[in-house]
Amino acid sequence: HTEDELSRSSHSNPGKSLVNGIKTNPASNSPKSSVPVPMGPPVYVDLAYIPNHCSGKNTDPEFFKRVRASYYVVSGNDAANGEPSRAVLDALLEGKSQWGENLQVTLIPTHDTEVTREWYQQTHEKQQELNIMVLASSSTVVMQDESFPACKIEF
């Protein structure tokens, strides 16, 4: 089937929909049972916002293997909800270690949290090996000839 045929078939059968080009039944399409994302080449971007305030609910090493950014923004500031998640910060190290290229990565935390401080101190040597720089939350970012505190980077 071509994409056009699949698209038409989903319109003619409202009980079905497409997820990643594959017909699925929306009733059984919960996040845990969804069709896995097919493998593909990595995506290179300048700036990526780590999803869900750096919560471990949606971000794993696969995210960092596939979404390769020069800058990652970590905005979590809710320890009660696990934001930012230490597991996600560790996933960055794991994912970046598999890039096969030593591109510079800058991590921009928008808040000074105990989790990010501990992670930074405990993994500093690994960060250096992987060419990862972590800005202090009081750092200044310059974009398009404008300078502002890193904590202002929010979406």
CA-angle at 93, arms to 92 and 94, nearest 5°: 90
Inter-residue contact 74 to 56 (CB < 8 Å): no
Per-residue pLDDT at 9: 43
Q: Is the pLDDT of residue 15 over 80?
A: no
Q: Kindly tell me if the per-residue pLDDT of 40 is higher than 90.
A: no
Which range has the worst mean pLDDT, 22-31, 52-61, 134-143?
22-31
Yes or no: say if 48 and 95 are a contact pair by the CB < 8 Å rule. no
Which SS3 state, helix, strand or coil, does residue 133 take? strand
CA distance 149 to 99: 30
- How confident is the model over 66-102, as pLDDT tens digits? 999 999 988 877 767 666 888 999 999 999 999 988 8
